[in-house]
Every structure is written in C-alpha cells, then in structure tokens.
Amino acid sequence: MTGIVKGNTGEWEMVIGLEVHAQVLSNAKLFSGAPTDFGAEPNHNVALVDAAMPGMLPVINEVCVSQAVRTGLGLRARINNHSVFDRKNYFYPDLPQGYQISQYLDPIVGEGVLSIELEDGTTKDIGITRLHLEQDAGKSLHEHSPTSSFIDLNRAGVALMEIVSEPDIRSPEEAAAYVKKLRAIVRYLGTCGGDMEKGQMRCDANVSMRRVGETEFGTRCEIKNLNSMRFLQKAIQYEAERQVEILENGGEIDQETRLYDATADETRTMRSKEDAHDYRYFPDPDLLPLELTDDFIENIKKDLPELPDEKKARYMEQYGLNAYDASVIVADKASADYFDEVVSEVDARLATTWVTAELFGRLNKMEVSIESSPVSAAQLVGLIRLIEDNTISGKIAKDVLDKMMESGKDANAIVEEQGLKQVTDTGAIAEMIDKVIADNPDKVAEYKSGKDKLFGFFVGQVMKASGGKANPAAVNELLKKALD
C-alpha cells in the first residue's frame, strides 16, 4: 500500500483528504445540559431541546467551545475570534430538529498543520483546512423488530469537532498516520477520548487519482464512516483501484458518497454527492455569533500541555534519544507518561532501552496495552536500579523482567527468591577462572600461541560456570590477568 497504483497504461497516484469527527470530551451536550456518558439506557440522556420539543432553545456550552479552541491550538491553527452557527437542513429520522446545527462559512478554527510520522522515520506536514463545532445526530436501531425501527436520541446534540484536512495525504499509510497523530494530540489535550471502537472518532476519506507527475487533482469520492485504522486503509486502497480501472477504461468518476463494506472489502455507492446549496445553510437565528476575546484564547493557550512533537524534540535534546525511539514513546500519552516516570529516576539510556525494546516488546507480544501493563513504571525503575548498582547483569535482568510480567512481583523479590544476585566477589570469580583454565589446557596453549579470538570462549565458560551471574566486567579483567 504505497499510494501508487500500477495500471495497464502507467502509474497512478492517490490524493486523499480526511474529515474526522471527534466527539468533544464534555459532561454535557453542545446546546443542552443532558449528560453524554457512553452506554446509557436508550433515550436517557435527552433534554427537551435534544428532542426538538416546540419552543425549546439551544444554549451554548462553554466547555465545548474551550475544547474546540484547545484542539485548534494543539493543531497550531488560527483561532477565529468570530464564528457562526448555521443550520444544515436535511431530513433524517434520528434528527428530530430537521436540521443539524453546524458551522459553515465561519468556523471556530481555521488553517493549521499536523505533522505525521512516516515509517522510514521522517515526518511530513499535512495541512488542516478547518475545525468546526457541530451536533451529532441520534441513532436508528433496526435490530429490535422485523417491522419497525427505534430511535435512540442519547447521542443527539452531543458536541463534535469536524476536523478537515487538505488533500495532502498520498497513501493509506499516511492516512492512518494522520489519524493516529490526531488521536494522540486530542488525547494529550484531553479534548476527545479518541476511541474509534466507541465511535468517539469517525473518519470520512476523500479519494481521487491522478497520473504520477500530474499536478491537477481528479474527481473525488468520499467514503463515509470508517471506524478503524485498518478499514480506513483497506477502503482507500480498494477505492483507488476501483477508480483507476474506470479511468483506464476511458470512464469518468462520478463524485459521490460511498460506503465501505468490510465483509466484502469493497466500497459501494451510497448517494450521489450533495452540494452545499442542497442543505440550504443559513445562520441559526436561535444562536448569536460566537465572539471570543483574546483573553479567553490566551488563557487556554497558557494551560496547554506538552504535545507529542515538543515532547519528541525534548527527549532527543535532553536525553539523547534517536528520532525513532522518541516517536514510539510519544505516540501515545500513556507511554509517554510511563517513560517520564522511569526516566526521572534512572539513567536515560537504560530507561530508553528498558521501556522501548524490553517492556514495549513484551507488551506487544502479550497484546496488552501500556495502561494494563503488569509491571508499573515504579517497578521497572526498581529493576533498572538493580542493573545500575550491579546487583544483576543486563542479561539476568531480562529474565527477571519476564518473571515480573508473569507474576507482577517486584524485581527485588524475584532476585532474592531465585538467588540471582550477580557475583562481584573477585575471589569467587577467580576460583571459577582457575577451574576453566585447568579444564582446558589445550585451549590455553592455543590462546598463548596467538589465537586471541579464544578469549571469548573463556569468558563464555566462566559465565556459564557462574550460571550467568558473574559480573562480566570483573570476569574480563580477571581472565586477562590469569591468561597473560
């Protein structure tokens, strides 16, 4: 999935722009005080205004406005002091108002930029076109009866941020990297939970194709509601190949809205593309334009946490991490928090290897997230301390970590129980060396006649004799003396 499709008449390049709907983290909805908790009984989180009862008026929730501004700042975007809520008119059974309150010509956030991490370790900037606030719709339930549908309005009126990218994305991988990065940023900011499975983030992908080297964009199709990274990538790949086939056969792409069917792994027409004028947008007369003071924005700015890009730069600068390790750690907030806790206590080089290579490696294998790691940051610090003060070697420490992952016990306890303390007693090591030398007279002779490479053999034998517990530096030093 490189972003290039090989056709019969040459190579084609993907052009992709994403629209992400991110549910705002807030206890109440955008224009009502109804709660937003996930998994509530159907129609329990519904205020009269969400059900569009006659005469009910929307009242803007300041928390949702701050969250949108906070997200905009995290995307290095322009915050608009003046923005307007519009009615986007369309009928849908789960939209009792008959319109969605959204923002059209004057969104709360304008142009920004999001830097994605590519597989080869480089980064690429993707333009953000805008971010606007809008209401979510309710949900139609068809599985309860063969003859009727039910409506659940719990989600109706929940605040969404629609975040629109420029068509700067060129492959399914870049699209996934974009969504991952966006998810990391909103999680760092605490403005959206980012869980795609729970519908907290949903993604529409716009895809068009052009011949490699061409500068004009082709006609695009929009694939709606992709709810996992994997489906996002598969849907784009399928859609790209579908379009190439049409184009190469002399056809034209109809600009339309399509759905991805994960079971069949294909996209299908949902409706032909509606134009903005179909929605009869107009400013909502129930809501005043939103006027933000510079102070309001400034206060949110002061309160921003360190974001992934800054954190990555700091890790490289302050602790000497390479770009790859730094990206892996900052990729999600929970692992960065974990690393911060470890690196504040022990040597940065050890912290990096033990968190990335050793801990993450084991968690990946177990398919366990860092949040549910059986070994806490404090426990990993305990293990690294034992390496730092030469109680155990790095090699033994790997076995100890395995046992910690299984049992959740502290490193100290495991080392005590299993008698894994490193032998630094030079007398004991010297004895082992004497025995190895006595047992291998021919190897000693070869070594003395100039076969230097055999030194490694002797180190190995001594380590083996100690059950891996001899201090390697001491073994090297004493062995040199004994042989020379």
Site residues, ligand ADP (CB under 6 A):
15-19, 164-167, 206-208, 217-218, 220
Complex with ligand ADP: residue 96 or 283, whichever CB lies closer: 283
Q: How far is the CB of 100 from ligand ADP (least distance, A)?
A: 14
Complex with ligand ADP: residue 50 or 168, whichever CB lies closer: 168
Q: Are strands 221-226 and 256-261 parallel, antiparallel or unpaired?
A: parallel
Complex with ligand ADP: residue 14 or 69, whichever CB lies closer: 14
Q: How far is the CB of 234 from ligand ADP (least distance, A)?
A: 18
Complex with ligand ADP: residue 160 or 370, whichever CB lies closer: 160
- Helix ranges (H only) for 389-425 are 394-407, 411-418
Q: How far is the CB of 411 from ligand ADP (least distance, A)?
A: 49
Q: How far is the CB of 258 from ligand ADP (least distance, A)?
A: 13
Residues 6+ apart with CB under 8 A from 68: 24, 108, 109, 131, 132, 133, 161, 191
What tokens does 471 get?
């201090």
Closest CA to 160 of 115, 204, 112: 204
Q: How far is the CB of 165 from ligand ADP (least distance, A)?
A: 5
Structure letter (DSSP) for residue 35:
B
Complex with ligand ADP: residue 143 or 216, whichever CB lies closer: 216
- Distance separating alpha carbons of residues 166 and 374, to the nearest angstrom: 41
Q: What share of the chain is helix, strand, coil (3-state, %, to 5)?
A: 40, 20, 40
Write the DSSP assignment of 61-123 as a string of letters: -HHHHHHHHHHHHHTT-PBPSEE--EEEE---TT-TTSEEEE--SS-SB--EEEEEEPTTS-E
The CB density around residue 19, as the number of other CB atoms within 10 Å, is 16
Q: How far is the CB of 209 from ligand ADP (least distance, A)?
A: 8
Contact 253, 222 (CB under 8 A): no
Write the Ramachandran bin of 3: left for phi over 0, alpha for psi from -120 to 50, otherwise beta.
left
Q: How far is the CB of 164 from ligand ADP (least distance, A)?
A: 5
Contact 373, 408 (CB under 8 A): no
Complex with ligand ADP: residue 19 or 248, whichever CB lies closer: 19
Q: How far is the CB of 17 from ligand ADP (least distance, A)?
A: 2
Complex with ligand ADP: residue 71 or 206, whichever CB lies closer: 206
Complex with ligand ADP: residue 16 or 387, whichever CB lies closer: 16
Closest CA to 236 of 254, 224, 250, 248: 224
Residue appearing with tokens 């959206």? 192
First to last CA, the chain: 59
Q: How far is the CB of 307 from ligand ADP (least distance, A)?
A: 22
- The CB-nearest residue to ligand ADP is 17
The number of residues making up the chain comes to 484
Q: How far is the CB of 26 from ligand ADP (least distance, A)?
A: 25
Q: CA-CA-CA-CA torsion for 385, 390, 393, 396, nearest 10 degrees? A: -60
Complex with ligand ADP: residue 237 or 393, whichever CB lies closer: 237
Complex with ligand ADP: residue 281 or 319, whichever CB lies closer: 281
